[in-house]
Structure 1
Amino acid sequence: MKKYRILSGLLAVLFAVTVLPAAAPARALGPSEVTVTVDGSSAQPLTGARRVGVNIEMSITSDEMWAADGNWMEQTLAAGSLSMMRWGYDAWAFNWETEQPLSPARYWGGLNTHDAAGTFGLREFIAFCKEYSVVPFVMIPLESLDTFGGEATLQQIQDLTASMARYIADQGIELCYFDMGNEVWNHGADGIDNARYLGGLYPEFQRIVKEANPNFRLVLQRAPENILWNRWNDTLVEAAGGAFDAYDDHRYAFYGWDKYFDKDGDDILTPGKPIEGKEAILGECNIGWTPVQDNWNAGHVRDLGGGMALLNALLDMVNREQYSQILTWPSQWPSKASIVNDGMDKGFGWFDLDAWYLTGDTQRFTGPVLAHRILNQNVLENKLNASSTASTVRVFSYENTAANDLRVIVINKWDPTTLTLQVPDRYTMVDAMVLQGESVWDTTPDYVSHLGAGVAVSGGVLQDAIPGECVVVYHFSAESSATVPAAPVLTSPATNAEGSTAQTFCWQAVSGAQNYHLVVSANPDLSDPVIDTYTGPNTLYQASRDLPEAAVLYWTVSAANAAGETAAPVQSFQTPGLEDTRVLTVNEDSDLIARSGGWNLQRSEKSYQGNDMSAEKAGEYAEFTFTGTQARILGIRGNWCGLAQVSVDGGAPVTVDTYSAQGQDQAILFDTGELAPGQHTVLLQVLGQKNDSSAGCWIEFDAVQILDSAGNDPKMDTAVWNEDDARVSRFSIWTHQTVEGCHHNDDLSSSTWKAHAEFTFTGTNAVLRGLKAPWCGTADISVDGTVVATVDTYAPQQENQAVWYDTGELPYGAHTIRITVNAAKNDASQGKWVEWDTVTWR
């Protein structure tokens, strides 16, 4: 049985119950007006960290993952302007020279194999840090020490530390930090005797790292500061005898939206007690962001709300000035895809590991990504006192030493409001960026210009209407030029280069420019742009949402000030492409293929596009509609595979046995044979059964081939999603129930006020269908955030699959439709139920 099949089976058991995002709590409306005041006389130099960094997880970041989509991970991390990066997850278990485990028992897991070949190793890590001027923070693998239950001797670990330090020094790195393990107290070094022994090792390890470079620094890592560990910490520090240069604290806090919203202050994370004379590092911090309070396994920061809470916490840590470096953890985390026995319910951090390891997709969580970028681009040399008249509007302010550049970061936790900003009256111009999404659960919120090219400020007062649940970053300028700035020089991507769908755009700063205007388009004349935003004073920008695949894109940047703008010459680049689609083979993960929620999307090396989807539970289905004369379902036949049923156009189902003693990839599981030209629908259903020879009931669906023998181009451009489709999100109370005569003989019902179902499709039209009956009430239909209709689903006689709403023709692109229960009815109805059945979109 393949490794992926084992993983999928265990995950099906371990994660049968999924915690869905809860809707934001119902509250009174927020204040319609808020005053933010910045005290210009309160400027004080910041003495601690002014930028933040991240941890990188070496053993679950493969070379393939790093290099995919035009080095998407590198582009994203580089765009973060990071101060420090800590390497890395599982480094405590590995020999950095051979990239093989010192102690397999200490290896946490991951889809990278136990020999760690192809991981993001020390060599790649140091190369990244050197190229982007990031301070490296590495781990000494003390958890692998035999004294603490590992399999390496002290001499081995000292020799590896010495060779690691020499290698880093030989690469021209002048400053590097060496952490004495990772939470070693939790990996075999608990107990006072172990703390005393561990502390006694510090003098020799400090000598080793400083022999490579006297500037290198040894870091003592403390256990949590509480009654259980205080004595352990004191013993460790005493035994180390001062033979360390810095100490490392780890801090976590759990905040769902409700808990964060109720927070009146900014003290989300708690700093540790200082160690006199030693540099302080916050080596790991994060916000447990989950609808289930204090539930570690329900997820961490992955969306807009989590990014807002994390940014709030990080800015507070910066303002407290205790730590010289602050690093969040993790930059990504193994969830269902990568750790079998201890996976999270959802991937989180910067990069979606589920999407990569299960489907090969390169997806970013831009909430936490942008929390780092906003801080790193806008914390200047001095902090200023700033206040807000509303506890739900948090504010932080920074100014440069010359007192001609002011940044005000406003975190609005609640409703849209009108801000009155009072700043020193020497500031006469302002531009702004806004981080916002469709809701606090949006995993790809956007960061775009808010005030366009900028506006004039009179008397130090600006009035501005801002959205709800957002972060607004204001850039005030005290100087303005009467001369239009010169054109900037575009540096990346280079002309005709192959870029990334997560492309970072870079250009050189121009004297006198107060703002920059970035435009990216698929057209040489820059019409219909996919990006059109001002970036403030920043000369680097990465789009929050992916650029089109397999596209030639054109871009330019204009340097702007009050006198005008000057654009650079237009350059072009190419994004990575998909396979040639002239042969109509449709991958199993296409949105045009409807599917139930129990399929595992996963990597499968020899399958079409390197992935497939598997399910073993009876009733799981996949369904597609095509125009042509024949369709074939491709998949895997193997000794773990079972039985399925396939029906065409609602006809009698045919049982298909996908078992094979010898594995077959991209095998034809079902062929419709020749059909009449026209539109047809094929339904594949898992039976949860097998023949006696098979070891399992798995169905592994890979792709669909569409043929047309009548000389027409085969098409698959229409999808019918049942209400239980995997891409439909449900919020609040809904009941999935059997209703004869509905599509798949079921529907989704609710009478709960504000309960809603939501989905996003890419196309031009959608038609909603559902039940109309004597007990049914009204629902609001919104398209792309705007309520377009209130639908009355009452009828004196039951009508199955009745048309509720047709969007009509929409511009081609991604559209989000939401059905919201009003808990209301007309006078003739017996109830307020809303029963949704399907959406047909194209």
Structure 2
Amino acid sequence: MRAARGRSFATFAGGEVDIRLAKATAGTAGPGVQVESDATGAVRLAPVSRLIDNADPAVVYTGTWTPDQETLTANDHFGTQATSNTAGSTAELTFTSTGIGLYSVKAESRGIIKVFIDGTLADTIDLYAPIGGIGGPSELVFRSAALPHGQHTIKVECTGTKGPYANGRYGQIDAFHVVNPIIDSASGRIVYSGAWTHSAAQPWTSGDLHGTESYSKQSGDTATTTFQGTGIRVICCKGPNEGIAEILVDGRPPTEVDLYAPTKQFQQMVFEHSGMPDGEHTVTLKVLGRKNASSLASFVVIDAFEVIEPDPYASTTNPGVDLIVSARLNYTRLNWGNYIDPPINLPAGWSATARLRLLP
């Protein structure tokens, strides 16, 4: 991605804000965009790194769905939505995570939808609200129960029915919120130092998350990741060739864990630290090159880290956001826009780094 500069103005809650695109870079974690506010004002923010838009090709539609025009999607994530009032029309998404949520817009024209998880009815939702026009702001209308980490399917079905006060039967889909607290050994978010070997789709990785693992027996080798949450779990393989590892969180006193087991054991939670303030933290797994007397070797095998979050669906409430969503902005000198959501106030000179996903 090439560095760029530009300026635009937007009106929020009656105040005009000058927003400058300061720079764009592509690093090891993916493309990044830095956005700065030149004046005190309000900017609409949304943590969208876990959102899958309704227009994403991964969402499979059956029946009759209509992608609504721009003037009806000002309250939607990514400025898109799909609606249907045909009974039996479905939208289905296959995902890999530990949970899934559904964003929709409630309005007086909305009807009733059903949500299925892995083929089982999870909820029946009435999308009616006494709001005319394009409806209220997009909101989380469904969140699944905790799921075992792996591949799952969510299906949203339009029932063609409505409540007693609705004047329409429309089901509406804005986006899906994927809950994925797993940082896989091959995700690119882990910084490895030393002589680690990275394996995937091998007989010895068959029971690992995503079929991947990284291992080393060299004393002093480390695997480090930074995460946002209140705690962390370390998931490793245990086995007859495994040795002793050291785990450090935010510079606290290290904890040693013995990874030996008489037989191979996949996806073992060998360490957990919780109760930290919600924010950014760092965890490091270190190879000590030692083992107990029963082990045949001193290998340390990392499968994944699992982040502990107070509420995986919670919106970001501080300036540490993932992306500024232009579709949610109320552009200056236009006679319509999103006036409903409460603004997030940013001081002059505020900046943040965000990841940007470009839709086809």
Structure showing the higher helix proportion among its residues? 1
Q: Which has the higher contact order (CA 8 A, sep 6+)?
A: 2
User: Into which bin does the TM-score normalised by the smaller protein fall?
Assistant: 0.3 to 0.5
TM-score normalised according to structure 2 size: 0.47
TM-score normalised according to structure 1 size: 0.22
